[in-house]
Chains A and B, each alone.
Chain A
């Protein structure tokens, strides 16, 4: 990690995302349907970023959209998909089958060990699993080591230091103090292991407010923070909004069809910027996603 000097880190979304270079190793925060940094993902697409190397655990539309738009060269994620509910990730699957991306599938626990090595300034850490699994064959950089104390054979995995971690939080201050709610997934580890953290928040609040809620990621790890309302949509960002299952279904359907259907999705939701994105999703729909807290019935209704 690089400790950032104190100061006002506020940036526009475009300015924040411009800190990501072509070819960068990028860690995307959140996971599955929760707190994905979608406003930054859409902005990466708008800025035409290329050659990205994505690392992380279990992801869905964030990774698939970047693959669909040709932004990705290599992936080391443990899972990309839409769970049992909506199935395989269409663009990821197609690109992997065509051979147009390098897939070095990884494992949540291995990625965690690699990030911890980077946090500690160590060249590697050992893991107990992986041997016997073909996941190891996808990673020629792994090596077997013998424990000097017990004689056990373990698998050494190298430190993983992403160039940039893109994290979304419900709230943060101008200095980059971020409050997250569970699941934190790997965000805290990404923040400490990466060379730089770029964040979006649904709302910029006062330092007093973020301290009262609890600082999960401290300002000294954050290089830039941009306000992006509904910046995790269509994933969830509790306590503000639940995930938008209908929108995910619409994306999956467009990405499965590809071609004109995917182009239409991109024209409707991505090309025009975030204000245009929120307008296309619709104020009523966005407001409905915030009704989860009214009752268990209201919450459940969002998912039917």
Chain B
């Protein structure tokens, strides 16, 4: 059995979803989008999947399109929420998990999707945060992700601009800010997986072709490593087959640089992992 990093990455994202959760992804998030469908078709069949910018409940799209509000994404859904129905549910605390990414992510899980450089005169104006600066306050838990960890520019000591709120901002922690959601729980990158013990990112899993030294070199904040650091568990045959059938257009690959997509892995019969 062989697979590539995009397939493994999506599987790692999918595993952050727990059974029975209500889960949402924002627009422009193909990896999270594919991961939610993989989770629903493997370990979390009783989750409530709210599909991106269609707000469709548990759809079975025939494919994932390259845009987040195409009608194909509501196929098979008995109901699509109105925009305001979704935001109301999220703000009152009825959404358990959201996937969020960022051009910059700090150790507290604050993310920047607004601008690199000074906000008044940015060096790079990014697209913007969508609903993040409210949703990150009230949704139960956040799974953060990036496919650009290796660039060295994504996991930073401090964000140039905080768009979405992590565990601690210069104005204080989540309790002081009156936020009802739990904040970042996981950060999945193309190099490894972090949890947020005590509200700070801590490396808990690595992909087998990456060393802790590689990760430290690519990380702009002091790297904390779990004592029981593990290798990310390989995808099961069912997970892999699901990734491939859910995403025949491979929109997930658009999040990775060409170099990363060359990372391939395999496991022979009877072996735990020959990665």
Contact = CB atoms under 8 A, between A and B. Distances in A.
Interface of A: 31-34, 57-58, 77-81, 83-85, 88-89, 92-93, 96-97, 99, 103, 105, 107-110, 112, 116, 127-138, 152-154, 181-186, 188-189, 236, 238-239, 242-243, 245, 292, 296, 299-300, 303-304
Given A34-B69, A135-B129, A129 B134 contact: yes
Given A135-B129, A189-B84, A84 B165 contact: no
28 contacts: A31-B53, A32-B68, A58-B27, A81-B126, A83-B68, A84-B29, A85-B67, A92-B125, A93-B124, A97-B124, A105-B129, A107-B130, A108-B130, A109-B91, A109-B135, A112-B87, A132-B165, A132-B172, A133-B129, A134-B119, A182-B54, A182-B71, A182-B80, A183-B55, A185-B53, A299-B62, A300-B65, A303-B249
Contact of B28 (A84, A129, A185): A84
Among B29, B53, B172, max chain A CB count under 10 A is at B53
A304 B67 CA distance: 12
Given A96-B122, A131-B177, A79 B128 contact: yes
Given A128-B138, A134-B161, A299-B62, A83 B84 contact: no
B68 A134 contact: no
B120 to A, nearest CB: 8
A199 to B, nearest CB: 19
A97 B114 CA distance: 12
A290 to B, nearest CB: 13
Interface in B134-150: 134-138
B131 A108 contact: yes
Contacts of A58: 27, 53, 128, 130
Among B80, B90, B130, B138, max chain A CB count under 10 A is at B130
B83 A112 contact: yes
B177 A134 contact: no
Nearest to B111: A133
B62 A300 contact: yes
B254 A135 contact: no
Contacts of A134: 114, 119, 161-163
B125 A129 contact: no
Interface of B: 27-30, 53-56, 62-63, 65-72, 74, 80, 82-84, 87, 90-91, 114-115, 119-138, 161-165, 169-172, 177-180, 248-249, 251, 254-255
B66 A107 contact: no
Given A33-B70, A97-B123, A182-B56, 11 more contacts: A34-B70, A79-B129, A83-B27, A83-B28, A84-B255, A88-B125, A110-B134, A128-B138, A133-B164, A134-B163, A300-B63
Contacts of B72: 292, 296, 299-300
A129 B178 CA distance: 8
A58 B170 CA distance: 27
Contacts of B127: 79-81, 88-89
A31 B119 contact: no
A303 B65 contact: yes
A181 B56 CA distance: 13
Contact of A109 (B87, B119, B163, B171): B87
Contact of B87 (A77, A105, A108, A236): A108
A261 B84 CA distance: 39
Contacts of A89: 127
A97 B82 contact: no
A40 B273 CA distance: 58
A130 B131 CA distance: 10
Nearest 6 interchain pairs by C-beta = A129-B134, A81-B127, A129-B137, A83-B28, A132-B169, A296-B62
B136 to A, nearest CB: 7
A300 B83 CA distance: 25
A289 B170 CA distance: 49
A132 B177 contact: yes
B255 to A, nearest CB: 6
A85 B66 contact: yes
B74 to A, nearest CB: 6
Given A128-B179, A303-B249, A78 B135 contact: no
Contact of A183 (B54, B65, B91): B54
A136 B28 CA distance: 23
Contacts of A303: 63, 65-66, 70, 249
Contacts of A108: 83, 87, 130-131, 134
Contacts of A132: 162, 165, 169-172, 177
A133 B126 CA distance: 16
Given A108-B130, A134-B163, A242 B91 contact: no
B66 to A, nearest CB: 4
Contacts of A300: 62-63, 65, 72, 248-249
Contact of B131 (A93, A107, A137, A296): A107
Contacts of A77: 128
Among B29, B30, B54, B131, max chain A CB count under 10 A is at B131
